[in-house]
Amino acid sequence: MFTGCYNIVVFDNPLEALNYLNQDENIITNCSLVITDYRMPQISGIDFIEKIREKDTNCKVKIMLSSAFIKTDVILNNSKINTLSIDKIIEKPIRLETLKNEVQKLVSDLIYFLIKIIIE
């Protein structure tokens, strides 16, 4: 679906993903988007995002949070959510085309933001 468009790194273990992101300061600096689940083994999606934001203090990395078990309104009532700058919350199941569109929106917003900064 995204072949040739993006450099994608996939993990099925959130702790391995955090280890990867912490390997080198440039990894988080060059990361445009993280898609994570709300409910994961070993660490919650909220805690996972919190760890990312510890490194990404300017909230440059776009975050998409998904959940099949908890509705968006319940997630939004979580007190940590407002402090983490989550860019998109999606409920599963999600159609592949919808996911693709949401990813493109988030990444194109980032490109626009970078162009705006360069111009100013």
69 occurs within a structural domain: yes
CB 109 within 8 A of CB 62: yes
36 occurs within a structural domain: yes
114 occurs within a structural domain: yes
4 occurs within a structural domain: no
5 occurs within a structural domain: no
pLDDT at 18: 93
Residue pLDDT, tens place only, 6-15: 778 899 899 9
Supply the pTM of this predicted model.
0.80
115 occurs within a structural domain: yes
Residue pLDDT, tens place only, 21-71: 999 888 888 888 999 998 898 999 999 999 999 999 888 899 999 888 766
Residues spanned by the domain of 85: 14-119
7 occurs within a structural domain: no
Overall number of domains in the chain: 1
109 occurs within a structural domain: yes
DSSP 50-97: HHHHHH-TT--SEEEEEESSS-HHHHHTSTTGGGTT--EEEESS--HH
72: domain CATH number is: 3.40.50.2300
